[in-house]
Amino acid sequence: MGIGTFIEDAHNTDTARNFIYNAWWFEAIMLIFVLNFFGNIKRYQLNKKEKWATLLLHLSFILIIIGAFVTRYISYEGMMPIREGATQNQFYSDKTYLTVFVDGEYEGEMRRRSYEKPLILSVKEVPLLSSNDFTIADKFNDIPFEIEYKDYMIDAKEVVKEDPNGQFYLKMVEASSGSRHEHYLKEGEVQNIHNLLFALNKETPGAINITTDGENYTISSPFEGNFMRMADQHTGNVVKDSVQPLMMRSLYTLGQARFVFPEPAIKGAIGYESNNDAKSKADGALTVTVRSEGQEKDVTLLGSRGKVGVPQSFKIGNLEYTFMYGSKVYELPFAIKLNDFIAKKNPGSESSFASFESKTTVIDNEKNETFDAHIYMNHVLDYRGYRFFQASFDDDELGTVLSVSHDFWGTWITYIGYFLLYIGLMAILFDKNTRFNDLKKKLEKVKAKKATLTIAALFLFAFNGYSQQHIHEKPTQKQLDSLIHKFKVNEEQADKFGRVIIQDAGRMKPLNTFSSELLRKVSKSDTYKDMNADQAFLSMIMLDEAWYNIPIIYLKRGNDSLRAVAGVEKDAKYAALSDFFDERGGYKLTEILEKAYREPVPNKFEKDFMDIDQKINLLYSALSGQILKIFPIPEHENDKWVSYVELGEPTGTSLDTIKNALPYYLQTLASATQTNDFTRSEELLVGIKNYQKTYGADVMPSKDKVDAEILYNKYDIFKKLFSWYMYAGLLMILFVIIKIFNNKKWVKVGANTFHVIIGLLFALHTAGLIVRWYVSGHAPWSNAYESVIYVGWATMFFGLAFGRKSQLTVAAAAFVASIILMVAHWNWTDPEIGNLVPVLNSYWLMIHVAVIVASYGPFTLAMILGLIAMILMLFVNDKNKEKMKLNIQEITYINEMALTVGLVMLTIGNFLGGQWANESWGRYWGWDPKETWALVSIMVYAFVIHMRFVPSLRGTWIYNFFSVLAFSSILMTYFGVNFYLTGLHSYASGEVRTPSYFFWMALGVFIIGGLSYFKYRKYLKK
């Protein structure tokens, strides 16, 4: 399954399905699972009362697999496009079909036989593993015929290949449906293009007739129109039923049709070419060979999912064949009318959507029933066994695309399986007859034995486009610092400015948030010298020319080429904006960036230049004032706000007056820094805030939210917590290790003190998440940064929960939480609070994501405990083996308990995700890389837990070793999918390279595992 995600990333979903998910051997494995579950029920007598929890788990997986079988082979789904005002009762299947009609005479009458072959065609074929081959063989009135697969081409484009012995083909480009399409008119044929007939060298009444002998061209139209020659804008009329010269490279308008003949006709034959883009959604070309009555013919069919294929008919012998390749059309027993489609954008944005919804009417003539239905993301229409989901919409926002699912039995069987699964998994944690309860009892016994043992030994444990042409001479750093310090605004006034609301990328937030993000992104710091973020930002917009020369742009280590281009020292940590522009104002990075942005996979060198380009653009937008969108446009339909730079032309609104308030405010503020009289500047600031309240109150955050967000920015608790957790965790580990060998009172007090400190830090961690939730308006686990800090919280939560049995667990959890929070503040995560995409704006986010991401916490804890257990094994000797054995057993039992909790949460979370997907777009499983790797992780950890049933895989060492190795599946599920593979859950585009330290860490695990095994076998193995 994991391999399938890489196949999909490299090629496409159909190829992955052909190779893995829809392969016969994969379905055979599912059947073996079902038989195995039944076998285990009988073998382990799970029908007994005390084993009811385990029985529910086995029955649930049997039902889930049966439900999946029903969904795959009995149910169906597809897409239903509807334009506003239109009524539709058909939808197109999500699968592609080869449809064949065979017509012939049977017993004196014309009869037809139909064939539908569902096809999943891959762009890559491997013998025995994946093949597109198929054959349809049958007889019609005792006439045998055979249809055989020959070839498949992805992203096929129709071309005419020149052939002196071929027929004339005339290329036509039209845009009748709103988008550009190319067609070839074939000599001697009539073609229907958007309900308009075209004929080339075949006089046809009612058609637009084109004639040519290769040199001269004429056109005759059944209705009037006009044309415009593009080269010189010459225009003319097309007279009805009149033969006129055809003008090449001229735009013809006849009725609703607009078309151009860009080049003369050529003699040749139709062929197809592909650019081999496996990700393309364009038509594919399927070629089949038809054999009958001693004759053979190749037929190439264009088509794809989401539309009906164009029929091709021909006759071989006594039978006539019609072929189509594309989606199958399903007909509903009722109709749906689209009354209105509404796409709500985020405030001020023209491209990001807060939601999109369809207002429809269901018209059921069979049941004489009509009612209105509102369909939007996470709100479905369920009627007569069909479910309708908001999937997408037309570019002009005048049409909707609904996803349709007909899967009543498959859904209910699967949901019953999910329900039994949830009950069974929760029962495992609380029922007295389960392994989990047995582990708790064993842990108590170990603690009792530890209390009776004393030992003295020595133990060591260590982890280990801008131009400033008016500035001719670059001022010195001393001159710049003196100027900035002279006009420095005090913190009180800067704080008042920081409370002004700004519209940034569709989100409404205080300027304090933007200034903090600006400084952090550009300089990797929260302050500039003795100024906080608000003071620094005010200084930037007051003294933009000075800041043009201030070295504030952070330069990554090691890239000497970047420093050479900027003209700064090799060891320089920062560069000024002016360093990236030459004397004429030319941008020094232009040539390098043009090449970098063209590369599908930029290298490290190019990525550094792209990163610095983003910082330069951000700083420029701040210095120029373009980013300061603080003025709401009165009564704007999308609540757009603008900056004073954008208000060059009069608007006829109060904007014409208020736009001057900001420049005037900055002037009075500069003067006030010298006189210390801020009265006038404060009045102007109040005026700006009042204007915002008057015209932008609908989208402005409340005062309490602004206060909370500024407080959140000020303390930046998550950035501080990683070092606090680190110090507390390492010191507690030290005390706990000493406690193993020296049980004196001061050691116990030290360990208990840090236990309490870590608990307080966890309370701060929790408070930080709550504040971020309140400020953002959504659960704080919706992007990369939030999910990482949430995993850190979950790790610490389960560390404290299991720490009641072992203080070493609490200390280890604090250390791991610190590492996780440190990772959260690396370059690839952005702490910025953003808007949710429509599908995430759901209560399912709180349920599914909270559970599944929280499961990474106990898995991380289990991994670190497994590592600690193996390290402890390295220090076992004849004198301390009894005491060490008890400590290792204690850690191992807690490890297994944590792993069990993680597996329960991951399983519940993953299948809850299936329910979310089913409620959002009508399918509960789609082999997305994230859900696939989560399932892989479930199976990996299920294997680790069940290893004890295999005699050769029992033992403390092998369990701890595998609990560490298994964590690699979690790393792949989180980091690998999020940053390596493309899919619904990805934050990147599959172009990240694995850092070398991951390989060194893996090598370290195997070295520790190998060395500890020898000590385990010598002293601890029974």
User: What average pLDDT does range 588-597 have in this prediction?
Assistant: 80
Q: String of b and e for 439-456 (b: at least 16 CB within 10 Å)?
A: beebbeebeeebeeeeee
Radius of gyration of the chain (CA): 35
- Whether 370 is in a domain gets the answer no
Least confident of 59-73, 372-386, 533-547, 920-934: 920-934
Please report which confidence band the pLDDT of residue 459 belongs to, taking 50, 70 and 90 as the band edges. Answer: very low
Asked whether 961 and 968 are in contact (CB, 8 A), the reply is no
For residues 239 and 225, the answer to whether their CB atoms sit within 8 Å is: no
pLDDT category of residue 354 using cuts at 50, 70 and 90: low
State percent of the chain over pLDDT 70.
Answer: 89
Q: What are phi and psi of 508, to 5 degrees?
A: -95, 125
Q: Are residues 220 and 243 in contact, defined by beta-carbon separation less than 8 angstroms?
A: yes
Kind and range of the H or E run holding 959: helix 956-965
**pLDDT category of residue 570 using cuts at 50, 70 and 90:** confident
pTM assigned to the model: 0.64
To 5 degrees, how large is the angle CA 140–CA 146–CA 152? 140
Same domain, 682 and 728: no
**Tens digit of each residue's pLDDT (9 = 90 or more) over 14-54:** 778 878 888 888 889 999 999 999 998 988 888 888 888 88
572 lies in the same domain as 670: yes
The CA–CA distances, whole Å, from 19 to 9, 23, 349, 529, 652 equal 13, 6, 42, 59, 64
Is 106 contained in some domain? no
Q: Is residue 172 a part of any domain in this protein?
A: yes
* pLDDT for res 456: 33
* The pLDDT of residue 126 is above 60: yes
Residue-by-residue DSSP string for 656-694: HHHTTHHHHHHHHHHHHHHH---HHHHHHHHHHHHHHHH
Q: Is residue 642 part of a domain?
A: yes
Phi-psi region of 88 (alpha: psi -120 to 50; beta: other; left: phi over 0): beta
Each residue's pLDDT tens digit, 173-191: 987 655 678 888 989 988 8
Assigned token pair, 84: 């506003």
Same domain, yes or no, for 657 and 525? yes
**779 pLDDT band (50/70/90 cuts)?**
confident
**Any idea which residue has 């308030």 for tokens?**
661
> Is residue 758 a contact partner of residue 905, using CB atoms and an 8 Å limit?
no
Question: Mapping DSSP to helix (H, G, I), strand (E, B) and coil, where does residue 946 land?
Answer: helix
Report whether pLDDT(839) > 70. Answer: no
Distances (CA, A) of 342 to 305, 370, 464, 639, 921: 26, 22, 58, 16, 18
* Two structure tokens written together for 234: 């010459």
Q: Determine the pLDDT at residue 841.
A: 53
Query: What is the spatial distance between Cα 603 and Cα 585, in angstroms, rounded to a whole number?
Result: 28
Which residue in this structure is represented by tokens 């809850």? 912
What stretch of H or E contains 319? strand 319-345
Is residue 951 in a domain?
A: yes
Asked if residue 141 lies in contact with residue 237, where contact means CB atoms within 8 angstroms, the answer is: no
Query: In whole angstroms, what is the distance from residue 538 CA to residue 488 CA?
Result: 9
- Residue 989's pLDDT is what? 40
Q: Would 662 be classed as within a structural domain? A: yes
- H/E run at residue 965: helix 956-965
Same domain for 753 and 685 = no
What tokens were used for 685?
A: 């600031």
Q: What is the token pair recorded at 272?
A: 């197809």
Q: Of 264-268, 435-439, 443-447, 753-757, which range is least confident? A: 443-447
Does residue 193 register a pLDDT over 50?
yes
Contacts for 436 with CB less than 8 Å, ≥ 6 apart: 428, 429, 897, 900
Among residues 276, 304, 326, the one where a domain terminates is 326
Q: What separation, in Å, do the N-terminal and C-terminal C-alpha atoms of the chain show?
A: 37
Angle between helices 491-498 and 511-523 (to 10 degrees): 110
Q: Is the pLDDT of residue 770 over 90?
A: yes
Q: Where are the beta strands (DSSP E) in 175-311?
A: 181-186, 190-193, 196-200, 208-212, 217-220, 225-229, 235-238, 244-245, 250-254, 257-260, 266-274, 284-292, 295-303
**Cα–Cα distance for residue pair 366/633, rounded to 1 Å:** 51
Check residue 334 and give its pLDDT.
95
Nearest to 392 by CA among 81, 842, 837: 81
**436 lies in a domain?**
no
Domain boundary among 326, 343, 358: 326
Residue whose C-alpha is closest to residue 659's, from 623, 698, 691: 691
488, 614: one domain = yes
Q: What is the pLDDT, as a whole number, of residue 986?
A: 45
Same domain, 656 and 731: no
- Report the number of distinct structural domains present in the chain: 4
Per-residue pLDDT at 326 = 92
Do 966 and 906 form a contact (C-beta atoms < 8 A)? no
Confidence grade of residue 982 (pLDDT, cut at 50, 70, 90)? low
Q: For strand 235-238 and strand 244-245, is the pairing parallel, antiparallel, or unpaired? A: unpaired
Helix residue spans in 524-572 (DSSP H)? 533-542, 544-547, 560-566
pLDDT of 971: 87
CB crowding 828-865: b at 16 or more within 10 Å, else e: ebebbbbbbebbbbbebbebbbbbbbbbbbbbbbbbbb
Identify any residues that bridge with 483 across adjacent strands, giving them in sequence order.
none
Let me know whether 664 and 781 are in one domain. no
Q: Are strands 181-186 and 190-193 parallel, antiparallel or unpaired?
A: unpaired
Closest CA to 968 of 999, 1010, 926, 1008: 999
Q: Are 771 and 855 members of one domain?
A: yes
Q: Residue 474: what pLDDT? A: 66
Q: Is the pLDDT of residue 617 over 50?
A: yes
Q: Residue 562 and residue 566: Cα distance in Å, rounded?
A: 6
Residue 866 CB partners (closer than 8 Å, separation 6+): 895, 959, 960, 961, 962, 963, 964
- Do 70 and 176 have their domain in common? no
Q: Please answer whether residues 773 and 717 qualify as being in contact, where contact means their C-beta atoms are separated by less than 8 angstroms.
A: no
Q: How confident is the model at residue 140 (pLDDT cuts 50, 70, 90)?
A: very high
Q: Which domain holds residue 794?
A: 717-1020
Residue 499 lies in a domain: yes
Please compute the mean of the pLDDT values over residues 321-335 and round it to a whole number. 93
Considering 326, 359, 390, which residue would you say is the last residue of a domain?
326
Query: How many residues appear in the chain?
Result: 1022
Q: What is the pLDDT of residues 487-535, one digit of tens each?
A: 999 999 999 999 999 988 778 999 999 899 888 889 888 889 889 999 9
In 3D, which of 257, 237, 233, 234 has the Cα closest to residue 245?
237
The dihedral sign for the CA sequence 167, 171, 176, 178? positive
Which of 327, 326, 328, 313 has its CA nearest to residue 286? 326
Is residue 601 over pLDDT 60?
Answer: no
- Bridge-partner residues for 208, per DSSP? 198
Q: 571 and 501 share a domain?
A: yes
Please report, for residues 63, 196, 769, the alpha-carbon distance to residue 45 in angstroms, rounded to integers and kept in the order given.
19, 72, 46
Name the nearest CA neighbour of 479 among 555, 545, 541, 577.
545
Task: State the DSSP code for 379.
Answer: B
Do residues 686 and 826 share a domain?
no
Which two three-digit tokens encode residue 819?
């590492």
Tokens in use for 352? Answer: 């990001």
Q: Which two tokens stand for residue 729?
A: 């965790």
Contacts of 745 (CB under 8 A, 6+ apart): none
| Mean pLDDT, residues 370-389 | 88
Do residues 41 and 53 lie in contact, with contact meaning Cβ atoms separated by under 8 Å?
no
Taking 60 as the threshold, does the pLDDT of residue 987 lie above it?
no
**pLDDT at residue 430 in the model:** 79
pLDDT at 975: 74
| One domain for residues 635 and 733 | no
Tokens of 282: 């364009």
**In the structure, what pLDDT confidence band is assigned to residue 846 with cuts at 50, 70 and 90?**
low
Q: Which residues contact 520 (CB under 8 A, 6 or more apart)?
A: 526, 831
Residues 575 and 568: their CA atoms lie apart, in Å, by 7
DSSP run (H or E) holding 406 = strand 399-406
Q: What does the angle CA 723 – CA 728 – CA 732 come to, to the nearest 5 degrees?
A: 150
The pLDDT mean for the chain works out to 84
Where is pLDDT greater, at 702 or 999?
A: 702
Lowest mean pLDDT among 155-159, 245-249, 1011-1015: 155-159
